Amino acid sequence: MEFTEWIRGRTDEQLRALVAARPELITPVPAHLEGLASRAGSPSAIGRVLDRLDRFTLAVVETLAVQDGPVSKQALSDLIGAALATDGPGGTPPGAAPRTGTPAADAPRAATSSARNGRNGRSRTPRAGDPDPALTAALGRLAELALVYGPDDALDLGPGVRKVLEDPAGLGPKAVDVFRHHAPELLDEMADDIAPGTQGSGKERLATALTEPAALIEAVSAEARGALDQLVWGPPTGRVPNARREVRVASARSPIEELLARGLLAATGEESVALPREVGLHLRGGRVHRDLMAVPPPLEGASRDRDLADRTAAGQAFSFVRSVEELCERWSAEPPGVLRTGGLGVRDLKRTATDLDLPEWVAALVVEVAHAAGLIAAGGGVDGEWLPTSGYDLWRVRATAERWVTLAVTWLHMDRLPGLVGERDERDRPLNALHADLRRASAPGVRAATLSVLAAAPGLAPDRDSVLGRLAWEQPRRRGPLREQLTEFALREAEQIGVTGLGALSGHGRALIDGSDAARVLAPLLPEPVDHVLLQADLTAVAPGPLTSELNRWMTLTADVESKGGATVYRFSEGSIRRALDAGHGGEELVSMLARHSATPVPQALSYLVTDVARRHGRIRVGTASAYIRCDDPALLDQITADRRAAALRLRRLAPTVIASRSSRAALVDSLRAMGYAPVAESLDGDVIISQLDSRRTEGPAPARVASSANGLDPEVITAAVRALRAGDAAHLSRREPSAAPGGQVPRGPATATISALQDAIKQGIRVWIGYLDSQGNATSRILEPARMEGGYLTAYDETRAAVHRFALHRITGVAGL
C-alpha cells in the first residue's frame, strides 16, 4: 500500500488526531492530502516527531528501521519480545559467543562514553513479559503519528524515517553501504580471501559473506573479538590510526588488521571505522535492543502528605506573588538602569536580592517572571531604566490566586532560563538577568515534561535521579547535559514559585498543567489577608499575618521592614516618616491611618515622632539658584550658615529668609537631610514638589499569549484544516470541470450576517452561494465549500473555478444557501 493512499484512507477523526499531534504539518495547510503526505515525510518533520517518542515506542521504530522491508506484527512481536527476555549468564545475549580476552592496544576507541553505550560494568536483567499489549499501544501511537503504516501483516515505516534515523539501536550501516566508497580492486581481494569461489562483484560477494559472519568471527583472535565487543551495543563507530590501510588475511598482524581484512570492520575515514550492521546483529544474537523496558521506570522518592504539600506550596505561591509586587514597588521609586548590552547589572541584582531578602537566584527568577509577564519593561528615555508597566497596576488589583496563576503560567511557557543568571557563555562573558542570551527554545518543553513526571506520582517527591531517569525513558532523543540542567532548574523553580510543595506536585499545580481553574483550587489554601497591625512602644509594628495589598504598600512606605517570617516586623524612624511626608501624606493623616489600622492604641512615642517630624518637615524650602534655601525663620538659617558641615555647599545669604547655593537642588536637599534638617523641594512657582514613589511607569510589551491547547492549535482550527484538506484533495483527484453559477441576482446582505452564515457553513460543511467583487469592482457569483476563515480571508473550494482559493471577506457581498 502506498503511503499517500494510506493517508487518504484515514478517517477525519484520525486526520484530526494526526495534525493535532504534529501541528507543523498544517503550517501552512497543504493544498491536498498528497501534499500532507509529502510534508509528513520531510526530514525536519520526522525529526521533530521522533523527539516526542518514549523509549519503547522509539525502539519499535528502530526495530522496523533495521528490517529490509515490511514485516508482520507477529515477527515484530518476536523481535521486541527477544529484547524483553532475560539475558543469559553475565548478560550475554542468547546465541552470541562469550566475550574473551582483553581489547588490543589498537582496539577502536568508542566515540562516546561507556554510560551512553550501556556498558556500566554490571549485568542488568531486562524486564521479561509479553510484549503484545505494549506493542499494540505503540503501533497505534505510531500509526496516529503517520510514522508506521500498513496492515498488521505488512507493517512498514513511513517515507523518510529510515534516512532520519542514524545508527538505529546503535547498529551501523549495512555492508553494501559501509563498503560503498572502497576501491573495487580492494573489495575483490577481500572477497577472494573470505568467500573464495563465489560469483559477482567484490561488494556483492562481501555483503553475502557478512550475512552469516559466524565463521569469520570465530577465525579471529580473542583480542580482535574483544575489540568487536566494544562496538556491539553502540555506538558502532570507533577511531583507529591509519584506518584505510591495505591488508589481507594472510598479512594481518594486529587485531584491528584481522577485522579489517575480513570485513568485520570497515574504514569510513582516515581514522574512523564502523561495524557493519550484519555483524552487529549476529553478535547481539539476533536481538535489536537489550534491557528494553515496555513501561517507564518507577519513580523513587519520599512520600508526602498531600494536604501538607498543598499548604506548603500555597505558602510559597503567596510569598512569590508578594515578592513580585515588592519588586515592582521598589523599582517604581528607584528603577535600575538598562545595560548597554541589555539586561540588568550584577550590582543591581545583588541590591534587589538584598531588598527582597532573597538569594540571588530567587531574585533573578522573580525579575525574569515579572518581565515575561509584562509587569516590568525597559523604559525611561535614552539611557533606559527597568520600570513597572501599566499592566502591573491592572495585575496588582486582582485577587492573589489569580495573580499567582498569571505568574505561574508565564513561568511554565516562557523561553527564558533564570537559572543561567550568573553563569558564563561560550565567550566567557557573564549572563545577566533580563539579557537576551537567556532564551532557550527547549525551556517550556522541559518544564512541561518535568511537571508531567511529577503528576504521574501523586503524593510523591521524586528524587533528582529518578526524575532524570523517567525523562530519559520518555524522551530518549532529547537527552544531554543541558537537558539535565534544565530539569534541575525546573524542579527548584517549581518549588520556589509554589507549583510544588515539599517536592511533590500540589493540587493547584496539577490544575495548572491540566488547564483547569488553578485559581479556584489555590484560593482556599491562601492565608487570609489582615487589615491591621499591632503597634508597640518601641516604635515597631507587628503584622500578625499577610497584610492587604493597600495596607502593605502603605506600611512599606511609612516604616522599614525589620524582619520577615510568620509575622512581619516594621520599624518607624525619622527617615521612614519623612519618606511618607515626602510622598504627600500629612502628619495628622499618618496618625489617623495608624489609629485606624492598629489593633492597639497608638503609642505616645510614635505619635510624638510623627508630630515632631511633621512639624519640622517643609520649614526649609529648596529651589533652584543653582539652588536656594528659603525659610520664614531667620534663626534657623543662621544655624545652617553657622554649621561647619555646610561649608561644602558654598552658601550665601541673600536675605534674612533666603540662602543661595551653587549646588543642585537635589544635592542640597540630600545634604541638609544628612545634617538633620527636614527640607522639601519647591518648584519655580513656589509650590511644594510631592515625591510620587509609585508614579513611574513605562509601556511594556504585552505578555506572551498562552496557547489554548498543548500543541498550540484550537480544535476548531484542526477541524477546519482537515475539512480544507479533504476539499482540496477531492478537487485534486476529481479535476472537476467548473460549475455554472446560479442565475438571478447576486446575493447581497449585511456584513455581520455574511460572516455568521459563512461560520455556520464551515461548521456544518455545506456549500453556499456568494456574491463577490473582483479587483475591478464587478460583482460575480461563486459556489463555495468553505474550509476556514482567519485574518480577514476565507479559504474555500471554488466550484465555479474548480480550485481552492482565498477570498477577502470585505469583498463578499452576501451569502445564500443552495
For the chain, the distance separating the N- and C-terminal CA atoms, rounded to the nearest angstrom, is: 38
Nine-digit cell string for 348: 543591581
Contact call for residues 408 and 716 (beta carbons, < 8 A): no
In-domain check, residue 188 = yes
Estimate the crossing angle of helix 574-582 against helix 587-596, to 10 degrees.
110
In-domain check, residue 518 = yes
pLDDT by residue (tens digit) across 218-232? 888 999 888 888 888
Range 321-350 burial, b when 16+ CB lie within 10 A, else e: bbbbbbbbbbbbeebbebeeeebbbeebbe
Q: Are residues 138 and 228 in the same domain?
A: yes
165 HSE (CA, 13 A, CB side): 26
pLDDT at residue 116 tops 50: no
By three-state DSSP, how is residue 253 classified? coil
Other residues' Cβ atoms within 10 Å of the Cβ of residue 299: 17
The kind and range of the H/E element at 41 are none
Give the type of residue at 111: A
The residue with greater pLDDT, 568 or 74, is 74
CATH code (residue 767)? 2.30.30
Q: Are residues 515 and 546 in the same domain?
A: no
Report the C-alpha dihedral over residues 147, 149, 152, 154, rounded to 10 degrees.
-110
In-domain check, residue 55 = yes
Contact call for residues 56 and 138 (beta carbons, < 8 A): yes
Strand 658-661 with 651-655, pairing: antiparallel
Tell me what pLDDT residue 383 has. 65
DSSP character at residue 98 = P
In-domain check, residue 810 = yes
In-domain check, residue 705 = no
In-domain check, residue 740 = yes
pLDDT at residue 602 tops 60: yes
Mean pLDDT across the stretch 131-139? 88
pLDDT at residue 121 tops 70: no
Other residues' Cβ atoms within 10 Å of the Cβ of residue 605: 13
Counting the structural domains of the chain, the total is 5
Cα radius of gyration rounded to whole Å, the chain: 37
Report DSSP letters for 517-554, one per residue. -HHHHHGGGSPPPBS-BEE-TTSEEEESSPBPHHHHHH
Tell me what pLDDT residue 125 has. 37
Strands of 329-468, DSSP E: 376-379, 385-388, 460-462
In-domain check, residue 31 = no
How far from chain centre, in Å, is Cα 635? 67
Percent of the chain surpassing pLDDT 70: 88
Nine-digit cell string for 485: 540542567
Contact call for residues 35 and 459 (beta carbons, < 8 A): no
Nine-digit cell string for 567: 509575622
As a whole number of angstroms, the distance between CA 327 and CA 47 comes to 42
Q: Are residues 170 and 272 in the same domain?
A: yes
> Rounded mean pLDDT of the chain?
82
Single out the residue of 446, 373, 452 nearest to residue 410, CA to CA: 373
pLDDT by residue (tens digit) across 229-243? 888 887 888 888 888
Q: Are residues 74 and 221 in the same domain?
A: yes
Domain of residue 656: give its range. Answer: 621-681
In-domain check, residue 470 = yes
Q: Are residues 655 and 570 in the same domain?
A: no
Lowest mean pLDDT among 249-258, 284-293, 693-702, 704-713: 704-713
Region of 682 please: left (phi>0), alpha (psi -120 to 50) or beta: beta
Cβ neighbours for 502, distance < 8 A, ≥ 6 positions apart: 304, 308, 309, 312, 461
Tell me what pLDDT residue 128 has. 42
pTM of the predicted model as reported, rounded to 2 decimal places:
0.70
Q: Are residues 186 and 161 in the same domain?
A: yes
Q: Are residues 146 and 273 in the same domain?
A: yes
Cβ neighbours for 119, distance < 8 A, ≥ 6 positions apart: 230, 233
Tell me what pLDDT residue 745 has. 75
Q: Are residues 329 and 364 in the same domain?
A: yes
Q: Which of 295, 323, 349 is the last residue of a domain?
A: 295
The residue with greater pLDDT, 319 or 548, is 319
Q: Are residues 228 and 335 in the same domain?
A: no
Q: Are residues 284 and 420 in the same domain?
A: no
Specify burial of residue 436 (Cβ count, 10 A radius: 0-12, 13-18, 19+): exposed
pLDDT by residue (tens digit) across 700-750? 655 544 443 445 577 888 888 888 888 877 777 765 555 566 666 778 888
pLDDT by residue (tens digit) across 724-736? 888 877 777 765 5
Q: Which of 472, 500, 525 is the last residue of a domain?
A: 525
Mean pLDDT across the stretch 145-152? 92
Q: Are residues 200 and 101 in the same domain?
A: yes
Mean pLDDT across the stretch 782-797? 84
Q: Which of 274, 295, 316 is the last residue of a domain?
A: 295
Q: To 5 degrees, how large is the angle CA 35–CA 41–CA 47?
A: 135
Residue 6 pLDDT grade (very low, low, confident, very high; cuts 50, 70, 90): very high
Strands of 331-421, DSSP E: 376-379, 385-388
Residue 103 pLDDT grade (very low, low, confident, very high; cuts 50, 70, 90): very low
Cβ neighbours for 47, distance < 8 A, ≥ 6 positions apart: 164
Specify burial of residue 215 (Cβ count, 10 A radius: 0-12, 13-18, 19+): exposed
DSSP character at residue 179 = T
Strand 658-661 with 627-630, pairing: antiparallel
Q: Are residues 559 and 574 in the same domain?
A: yes
Cβ neighbours for 725, distance < 8 A, ≥ 6 positions apart: 15, 26, 29, 30, 32, 33, 36
Single out the residue of 165, 171, 206 nearest to residue 185, CA to CA: 206
As a whole number of angstroms, the distance between CA 233 and CA 203 comes to 25
As a whole number of angstroms, the distance between CA 186 and CA 548 comes to 85
pLDDT by residue (tens digit) across 649-669? 888 888 888 888 878 888 888
